[in-house]
Structure 1
């Protein structure tokens, strides 16, 4: 019961934070350089990590923090929970652009904030057109020294389950030649997909060494990323 109450309290706090920081991005932020909007978004992520720790007792630790990108790169991250969609804003450098579902752009305030930052919204039913958009827009943003965040699975996958990794991020890596940084974690153990409860404990995140994709086909990049991420996830605790 206490976990449920704390989780509900955090949910309310998260919604309030979206309103406050989202409106800041689309009002004051739009009058300022893009770097200011990036920092506001990063502050939103940091605030929510603090709220999770204080309200829910949910912490995190990072192994391989030295591998976090300091310049333009393609980050391919495991997708188990809502946690990583919040935390990566704070953990990775503020200059971020995400490959995300087009539907998110229609959400009030949150979607407006997403539109105020150069992200890559795609229609997942568009097939090759969406992949082409990822490659073209992603390469442009990488040249602007932005880090591209990709969830290769496309949607949240419960711990212990596997889903086919998409090729969009890998094709971007093949065509652009920018380094790839894989990230594994077990956030879904503590904050389940489509779940309200946030169980107290410590989420483990593992950041792999960047690798150069030059000379590799997209399929090879996908296999390399998937093998590394899934191997690391299998080593992490599977219970709160």
Structure 2
């Protein structure tokens, strides 16, 4: 019952905050891009505090100093929607690769374009890959980091799927480093269960990789690092 009540408290406060900030954001499409990023980041920071306060979660960030000040590709495992909230808190100028269906969500989906995401149709195959490479390179040339979830879909807490090579290919095309990110957000925002869970939520950035070499080998190296970090997170939570 405790988890249920905490989860209801989160949903109520999160919804009220989102509705309030949606009104503030109404003129933001007319403003410069850096102001739009600020608008998205402010919403995410407050929402993240609401989540931590209502559910009883403590954020454990490691390795943020590994993220270059310039453009880079961030390769992260994907467990829940919570990652987008948290990463906007720490990396206010950030472009996500996301599925285009999210743009149809009421309110949140309407304002997602403010963050200049790369919205793809996952069933488009090669066309989606081309879109990520071309639009991703534009973001990187503009100095904006690009976040890619190489698994393509969410995984359960403690699990890790197969990585596609698009993130590394984008980094090589733009000549920027790749930074791995390991998270255990799915342990607290589980898929298929509306009840959220308290505990220590980890986000670990690894050392930047130059992305030189065969893309499949670089991708596998980064996946191995993320897998090792996830295993440690599971050990600490047991």
Q: Distance in 1 between matches of 2:5 and 2:178?
A: 40
Q: How many residues align?
A: 237
What is residue 233 of structure 1 aligned with on the other side? 230
What is residue 16 of structure 1 aligned with on the other side? 16
Contact 1:52–1:59 (Cα < 8 Å) also in 2: no
- CA-to-aligned-CA distance 1:89-138 (integer Å, 9 cap, x gap): 1122x111110001011122212211233210001111111001100100
SS at match of 1:61: strand
Q: Distance in 2 between matches of 1:176 and 1:166?
A: 18
What is residue 90 of structure 1 aligned with on the other side? 89
Match of 1:155 among 153, 164, 168: 153
Q: What's the TM-score once normalised by structure 2's chain length? A: 0.93
- CA-based RMSD of the aligned residues comes to 1.7
What is residue 3 of structure 1 aligned with on the other side? 3
Residue correspondence of structure 1 range 185-200 to structure 2 within 5 A: 185-200=183-198
Quick check: 29-38 or 129-138, which moved more? 29-38
Quick check: 144-153 or 108-117, which moved more? 108-117
Q: Distance in 2 between matches of 1:21 and 1:201?
A: 28
What is residue 175 of structure 1 aligned with on the other side? 173
- CA-to-aligned-CA distance 1:13-33 (integer Å, 9 cap, x gap): 2233333334433x2212321
- CA-to-aligned-CA distance 1:183-236 (integer Å, 9 cap, x gap): 11222222212322222211122110111113x232122212211111111111
SS at match of 1:71: coil
Q: Distance in 1 between matches of 2:163 and 2:74?
A: 14
Contact 2:37–2:114 (Cα < 8 Å) also in 1: no
SS at match of 1:178: coil
Residue ranges of structure 2 left out of the alignment (5+ in a row)? none
Residue correspondence of structure 1 range 19-168 to structure 2 within 5 A: 19-25=19-25, 27-92=26-91, 94-168=92-166
Contact 1:183–1:229 (Cα < 8 Å) also in 2: yes
Q: How far did 1:49 drift?
A: 1.6
SS at match of 2:52: helix
Change (3 A) 1:177 1:22: farther
What is residue 219 of structure 1 aligned with on the other side? 216
Q: Distance in 1 between matches of 2:196 and 2:231?
A: 21
Q: How far did 1:69 drift?
A: 3.5
Q: What's the TM-score once normalised by structure 1's chain length? A: 0.92
Contact 2:40–2:114 (Cα < 8 Å) also in 1: no
